[in-house]
């Protein structure tokens, strides 16, 4: 159980590091959307210049991350330190592999902006396959202590493939984004479109992907293991809904471009109902699925499953609204709302973990999203402020 808890805890840390791309991943999606809906022949040159500048800026945290990873790995090897039965040197290697994926992750977001979300979903299927293959190889080579590196390796491979198809979607060669920076592109204006995304990428993963960290601080290993198993039941449904929700980003942008500024209420209803039906099915099947997956070693409390279900429903309702607000001042509003959500989520988790147990962070997520995103977001959309 300790190994399972440690592995899932490491895997949950990676999404929290998403802010290292400085927000240019989300900005690249908006730039690609603008390019796809702009008939002007100079649109590709503008996109190419923006990507060059974005990658140039993202190389800084990438380089710093690699240096820190190498330094901590050397230090850990000399000190022979361990954490949750995982050598710190392995954590350093995991971080190093992750930061290598940052430039490719930025470019891969071009697929979403150009409306090729189906291809992006297919490419995402590479990640679990690579992770499973990596785990199988480490077991075969009897170096199982390297298993925690699997999520980072699979993410890197997925991003490289996504970057290849992303550049093809905008007909820009790799050399076109690796050359000299385009001096006609204003750095300040470029970052002004990226900083809201950077805040979103800091606050959102911290709020949604930090549950295991919170449980490791305020709970125990059993709490982390049971939460991880419960989240494993709901994660495929959330991943599917999230991937489908991404398709709404260019969809809303295209409608807005042709003058059809339809509000997202119909999609909010559909996503909420699908999530509610799926959650009800998972609640009913959770005892059997938990026994099947864990081999009768981990039991899931009903309150934990209900809290995870409520979190799934609320996140699904927020998805269409978030995609609708990805234009103009929308990202800035979302960034501000996420900061409040982040604070409320941590406060509620701190209060509820001792009383509710491992379900505390999931329930805190549901309440925080409702109070700090759903309600104010619906008000802003109704008033056409965002």
- Determine the pLDDT at residue 204: 65
Structure tokens at 346: 């941590």
Whether the pLDDT of residue 341 is over 70: the answer is: yes
pLDDT attached to residue 338: 83
* Per-residue pLDDT, 81: 45
What are the residues whose beta carbons fall under 8 Å from the beta carbon of 132, sequence distance 6 or more?
Answer: none
| Residue-wise pLDDT tens digits, 120-146 | 888 888 888 998 899 899 889 888 778
What's the pLDDT score for residue 324? 87
Tell me the pLDDT of the chain averaged across its residues. 79
- CA 89 – CA 78 distance, rounded (Å): 10
Q: Which of 96, 318, 317, 353 is nearest to 218 (CA)?
A: 353
- The pLDDT value recorded for residue 131 is 87
Model confidence at 224, pLDDT cuts 50, 70, 90, reads confident
pLDDT in tens, 173-197: 887 787 655 555 555 455 555 566 6
**pLDDT over 90 for what percent of the chain?**
17
Q: Residue 252 corresponds to which tokens in the numbers above?
A: 């809303």
pTM: 0.66
To the nearest whole percent, how much of the chain has pLDDT over 70?
Answer: 76
Please indicate whether residue 126 or residue 77 has the higher confidence score (pLDDT).
126
The span from the CA of 235 to the CA of 90, in Å, is: 25
Quote the pLDDT of residue 205.
Answer: 62
* 297-336: pLDDT as tens digits: 777 888 989 999 999 999 999 989 988 887 767 777 888 8
In sequence order, the 6+-apart residues with CB closer than 8 A to the CB of 198 are 19, 21, 22, 23
Model confidence band, residue 109 (pLDDT cutoffs 50, 70, 90): confident
- Of the two residues 262 and 341, the one the predictor is more confident about is 341
Return d(Cα 168, Cα 32) in angstroms, integer.
12
Query: What's the confidence (pLDDT) of residue 14?
Result: 64
DSSP state, 370?
I
Is it the case that residue 18 has pLDDT exceeding 80?
no
Q: What CA–CA distance (Å, rounded) separates 128 from 114?
A: 25
Whether 27 has a pLDDT exceeding 90, the answer reads no
CB 9 within 8 A of CB 213: yes
pLDDT over 60 at 163, yes or no: yes
Indicate whether 36 pLDDT > 60: yes
pLDDT computed for residue 368 by the predictor: 93
Q: Using DSSP, state whether 86 is helix, strand or coil.
A: strand
DSSP assignments along 233-259, one per residue: HHHHHHHHHHHHHHTHHHHHHHHHHTT
């Amino acid at each position: 159980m300790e190994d399972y808890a440690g592995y899932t805890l490491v895997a949950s840390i990676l999404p929290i590091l998403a802010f290292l791309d400085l927000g240019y991943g989300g900005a690249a999606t908006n730039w690609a959307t603008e390019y796809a809906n702009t008939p002007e022949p100079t649109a590709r040159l503008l996109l190419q210049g923006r990507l060059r500048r974005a990658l140039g800026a993202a190389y800084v945290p990438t380089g710093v991350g690699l240096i820190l990873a190498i330094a901590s790995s050397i230090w850990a090897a000399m000190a022979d330190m361990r954490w949750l039965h995982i050598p710190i040197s392995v954590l350093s290697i995991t971080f190093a592999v992750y930061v290598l994926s940052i430039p490719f992750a930025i470019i891969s977001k071009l697929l979403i902006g150009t409306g090729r979300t189906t291809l992006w979903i297919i490419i995402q299927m590479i990640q679990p396959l690579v992770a499973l293959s990596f785990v199988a190889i480490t077991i075969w080579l009897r170096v199982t202590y390297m298993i925690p590196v699997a999520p980072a390796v699979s993410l890197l491979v997925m991003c490289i493939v996504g970057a290849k198809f992303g550049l093809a979607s905008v007909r820009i060669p790799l050399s076109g984004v690796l050359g000299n920076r385009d001096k006609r592109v204003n750095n300040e204006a470029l970052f002004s479109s990226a900083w809201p995304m950077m805040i979103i990428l800091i606050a959102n993963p911290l709020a949604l992907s930090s549950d295991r960290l919170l449980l490791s601080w305020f709970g125990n290993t059993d709490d982390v293991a049971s939460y991880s198993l419960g989240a494993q039941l709901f994660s495929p449904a959330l991943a599917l809904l999230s991937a489908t929700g991404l398709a709404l980003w260019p969809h809303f942008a295209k409608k807005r471009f042709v003058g059809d500024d339809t509000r997202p209420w119909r999609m909010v209803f559909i996503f909420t109902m699908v999530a509610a039906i799926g959650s009800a099915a998972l609640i009913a099947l959770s005892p059997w699925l938990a026994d099947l997956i864990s081999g009768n070693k981990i039991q899931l409390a009903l309150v934990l499953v209900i809290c995870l279900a409520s979190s799934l429903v609320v996140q699904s309702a927020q998805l269409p609204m978030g995609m609708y607000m990805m234009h103009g001042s929308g990202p800035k509003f979302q960034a501000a709302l996420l900061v409040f959500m982040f604070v409320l989520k941590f406060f509620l988790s701190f209060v509820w973990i001792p009383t509710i147990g491992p379900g505390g962070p999931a329930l805190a997520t549901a309440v925080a999203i409702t109070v700090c995103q759903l309600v104010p977001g619906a008000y802003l959309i109704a008033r056409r402020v965002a």
